[in-house]
C-alpha cells in the first residue's frame, strides 16, 4: 500500500503543475484533465482503511448499459465517519452495496479497485468475501426487516455472526447477543432476546440490526439510510448510537443519506454524489463553508425547512441525466448555472482544488 501512496503523491504533483500552467478564468483556474487511469486523490495521502478507486458498477439491460456508478473514488480513514450524499437515484445504494460485493442482479458488471486494509475486495473469491462481510465490514439498511428473518428469534440472529465468524457455540453466542443488545440500548435484553422481529418496534428493530452488525467488531460499518424509516426522535437516538459506537470501538462508518442535516450532525467527511460520480469530497466543515462543485452549492442553497416533513433533496432545476446515456462532457452541465462551453465537451475528473478538498468541476472555484 505504501508504494501506491508514493505513486499517488507523484501523480498529484504532476497534476498541480499542469493546473498552474493552465488559464485563469472568472471561475478560477481551469484544470487540465488527468490522464486516463490516474487514480490518485490527495497530494499527501494518509493510509486509508478503504480506498475506493475508479469503481464502475454497470448494469447491462435491454435499454442499454446503466452506469449506476461510473468511476467512483474516495477514501475512508480508520475510525472516521464519511457521508455519501446525493439525490435519489444518483447511485448511493449501488455504490455502497458494491463495496461489499452484495449486488447479484443480472447484467451486473463491476470494475475498479477496492483496497480494504491491504485486501482488494474486487479480487476476493466468494468464500473470501464472505469472511469479510459481517465480520470486518458490516452493513445496515433502511428497512431492518430486510436484514432480519421473521422466523428466527432476535437472539439467534444477533448471535449469528459470532457463530459463523468466531465459532461460538449456541449458548455463548446467545449470552453475547444479550450483551450486544444491551450495548445498543435495547431495554431488558435478557427478556427481549427470545422475541421475534415482529414483536419489536421499528426503532428497536433498527437497534437489533445494528447490534448484529457490530457483533464481530467490524472496522467499517456501512449504513444505507439507516434512519429514513424512523421518526425524528428515534432517528436522533440511532445517529447518536452510531456516533458513540464509532468513538468507543474506533469503527469507521460510511453513512449513505439524502439528508444534509444527518451529514452535518454526524460526519467527519462528505462525499457528494451526482449521477454515478463523486463530484466533491472534503471534510464536513469545508463542504458546508466552502463548497466548490456547483452541484454541492445547489444542494446547500436549498436545505429544506427542518420543520417540514419533506426532507428530499430535489431542489435544483432540471433532470438527472439518463444513466444509460450520460452526456459527453460534465453530466451536471445542463443544470449548472456556471456552465461554460468547455463544460459541454470536457469530462471533469475529481481533483484536488485545495488541501484535502476534491472537486470534479473543471473550474476550481466557480462563482
Q: Which residues bind Ni ion (CB under 5 A)?
A: 92-93
Rounded Cα distance, 38 and 349, in Å = 10
List the beta bridge partners of residue 254: 82, 222
Nearer to ligand ATP, 15 or 258 (CB): 258
68 touching ligand ATP, by CB under 6 A: yes
Nearer to ligand ATP, 161 or 276 (CB): 276
52 touching ligand ATP, by CB under 6 A: no
274 touching ligand ATP, by CB under 6 A: no
Residue 155 contact partner, candidates ligand ATP, Ni ion, none, CB within 5 to 8 A by sort of partner: none
The C-alpha cell of 352 is what?
Answer: 484536488
Q: How far is the CB of 90 from ligand ATP (least distance, A)?
A: 4
DSSP 218: -
Among 362, 323, 330, smallest CA distance to 345 is for: 330
Q: Quickly list DSSP for 45-111.
A: ----SEEEEEEEEEEEETTEEEEEEEEEEEEE-TT-EEEEE-STTSSHHHHHHHHTT----TTEEEE
Residue 320 contact partner, candidates Ni ion, ligand ATP, none, CB within 5 to 8 A by sort of partner: none
The C-alpha cell of 238 is what?
Answer: 440511532
First-to-final CA distance of the chain: 38
Q: How far is the CB of 22 from Ni ion (least distance, A)?
A: 37
Nearer to ligand ATP, 107 or 337 (CB): 107
Rounded Cα distance, 241 and 243, in Å = 5
Nearer to ligand ATP, 20 or 314 (CB): 314
Q: How far is the CB of 84 from Ni ion (least distance, A)?
A: 10
Pattern 304-323, binding to ligand ATP, x per CB under 6 A?
-------------------x
Nearer to ligand ATP, 104 or 308 (CB): 104
105 touching ligand ATP, by CB under 6 A: yes
Q: How far is the CB of 110 from Ni ion (least distance, A)?
A: 17
Rounded Cα distance, 89 and 51, in Å = 23
Q: How far is the CB of 179 from ligand ATP (least distance, A)?
A: 33
Rounded Cα distance, 361 and 359, in Å = 6
Tell me if 170 sits within 8 A of 253, measured CB to CB.
no
| Site residues (vs ligand ATP, CB under 6 A) | 59, 61, 66, 68, 86, 88-94, 105, 258, 323
Amino acid at each position: 500500500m505504501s508504494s501506491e501512496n508514493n505513486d499517488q503523491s507523484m501523480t498529484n504533483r504532476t497534476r498541480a503543475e499542469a493546473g498552474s500552467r493552465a488559464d485563469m478564468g472568472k471561475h478560477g483556474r481551469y484544470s487540465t484533465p488527468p490522464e486516463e487511469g490516474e487514480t490518485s486523490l490527495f497530494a499527501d495521502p494518509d493510509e486509508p482503511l478503504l480506498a475506493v478507486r475508479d469503481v464502475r458498477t454497470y448494469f447491462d439491460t435491454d435499454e442499454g448499459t446503466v452506469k449506476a456508478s461510473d468511476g467512483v473514488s474516495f477514501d475512508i480513514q480508520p475510525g472516521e465517519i464519511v457521508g455519501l450524499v446525493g439525490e435519489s437515484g444518483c447511485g448511493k445504494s449501488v455504490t455502497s452495496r458494491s463495496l461489499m460485493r452484495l449486488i447479484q442482479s443480472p447484467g451486473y458488471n463491476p470494475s475498479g479497485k477496492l483496497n480494504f486494509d491491504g485486501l482488494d475486495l474486487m479480487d476476493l473469491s466468494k468464500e473470501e468475501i464472505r469472511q469479510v462481510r459481517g465480520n470486518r465490514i458490516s452493513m445496515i439498511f433502511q428497512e431492518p426487516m430486510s436484514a432480519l428473518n421473521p422466523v428466527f428469534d432476535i437472539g439467534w440472529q444477533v448471535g449469528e455472526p459470532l457463530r459463523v465468524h468466531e465459532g461460538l457455540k449456541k449458548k455463548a453466542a446467545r449470552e453475547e447477543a444479550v450483551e450486544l443488545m444491551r450495548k445498543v440500548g435495547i431495554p431488558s435484553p435478557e427478556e427481549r432476546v427470545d422475541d421475534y422481529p415482529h414483536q419489536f418496534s421499528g426503532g428497536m428493530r433498527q437497534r437489533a440490526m445494528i447490534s448484529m452488525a457490530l457483533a464481530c467488531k467490524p472496522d467499517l460499518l456501512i449504513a444505507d439510510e439507516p434512519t429514513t424509516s424512523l421518526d425524528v426522535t428515534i432517528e436522533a437516538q440511532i445517529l447518536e448510537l452510531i456516533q458513540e459506537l464509532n468513538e468507543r470501538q474506533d469503527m469507521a462508518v460510511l453513512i449513505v443519506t439524502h439528508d444534509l442535516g444527518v451529514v452535518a450532525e454526524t460526519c467527519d467527511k462528505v462525499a457528494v454524489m451526482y449521477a454515478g460520480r463523486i463530484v466533491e469530497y472534503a471534510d464536513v466543515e469545508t463542504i458546508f463553508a466552502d463548497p466548490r462543485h456547483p452541484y454541492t452549492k445547489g444542494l446547500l442553497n436549498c436545505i429544506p425547512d427542518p420543520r417540514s416533513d419533506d426532507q428530499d433533496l430535489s431542489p435544483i432545476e432540471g433532470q438527472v441525466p439518463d444513466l444509460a446515456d450520460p452526456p459527453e462532457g460534465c453530466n451536471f452541465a445542463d443544470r449548472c448555472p456556471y456552465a461554460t462551453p468547455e463544460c459541454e465537451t470536457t469530462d471533469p475528473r475529481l481533483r484536488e482544488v485545495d488541501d484535502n478538498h476534491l472537486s470534479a468541476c473543471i473550474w476550481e472555484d466557480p462563482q
